[in-house]
């Protein structure tokens, strides 16, 4: 009986949270939930326009979320930090409004090759965190 009451309380709290944060929940519903191939095609074309060529994804790590490492070559004559900044900015803008995000460790640069990792968010609470983070 106690377990049923506790479950009802949690359900009530969740419904109350949904009403208080209705805007965030609506944004979560509107997020584009892209497959890996869609992300690869989307980023490939956008990055190529910015001078980042030969985008390559490695085998995904399947954990709580899906994490996928990528690499690309900088075809323009840029300084290391400018190249990293341009890549990160392009990826963040391109993936805005989707369930994918560049991981916090950002991008690495070595001899004209850039690498980094992307994360796919799936669970509703993670997507809410993503929307709230974008809001800030």
3-state helix, strand, coil in the chain (%, to 5): 50, 30, 20
Let me know if residue 16 belongs to a domain.
Answer: no
Structural domain of residue 66, as residue ranges? 31-135
Q: Which residue numbers in the chain have pLDDT < 70?
A: 17-20, 132-136
Let me know if residue 18 belongs to a domain.
Answer: no
Let me know if residue 13 belongs to a domain.
Answer: no
Let me know if residue 43 belongs to a domain.
Answer: yes
pLDDT in tens, 13-26: 777 766 667 777 77
Specify the number of domains making up the chain: 1
CATH number at residue 51: 3.30.70
Tell me what pLDDT residue 136 has.
54
Tell me what pLDDT residue 20 has.
67
Tell me what pLDDT residue 128 has.
72
Q: What are phi and psi of 57, to 5 degrees?
A: -100, 140
Tell me what pLDDT residue 126 has.
76
Q: What is the DSSP letter of 117?
A: E
Let me know if residue 62 belongs to a domain.
Answer: yes
Let me know if residue 7 belongs to a domain.
Answer: no
Tell me what pLDDT residue 134 has.
65
Whole-number Å distance between alpha carbons of 7 and 13: 10
This prediction's pTM: 0.77
Let me know if residue 6 belongs to a domain.
Answer: no
Let me know if residue 99 belongs to a domain.
Answer: yes
Average pLDDT, the chain: 87
């Amino acid at each position: 009986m106690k377990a049923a009451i506790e479950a009802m309380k949690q359900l009530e709290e969740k419904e109350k949270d949904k009403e208080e944060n209705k805007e965030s929940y609506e944004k979560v519903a509107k997020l584009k939930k892209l497959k890996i191939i869609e992300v690869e095609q989307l980023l490939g074309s956008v990055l190529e326009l910015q001078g980042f060529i030969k985008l390559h994804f490695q085998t995904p790590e399947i954990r709580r979320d899906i994490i996928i490492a990528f690499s690309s070559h900088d075809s323009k004559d840029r300084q290391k930090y400018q190249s990293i900044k341009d890549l990160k900015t392009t990826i963040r803008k391109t993936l805005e409004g989707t369930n994918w995000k560049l991981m916090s460790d950002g991008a690495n640069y070595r001899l004209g090759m850039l690498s980094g990792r992307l994360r796919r968010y799936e669970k509703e609470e993670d997507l809410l965190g993503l929307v709230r983070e974008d809001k800030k």
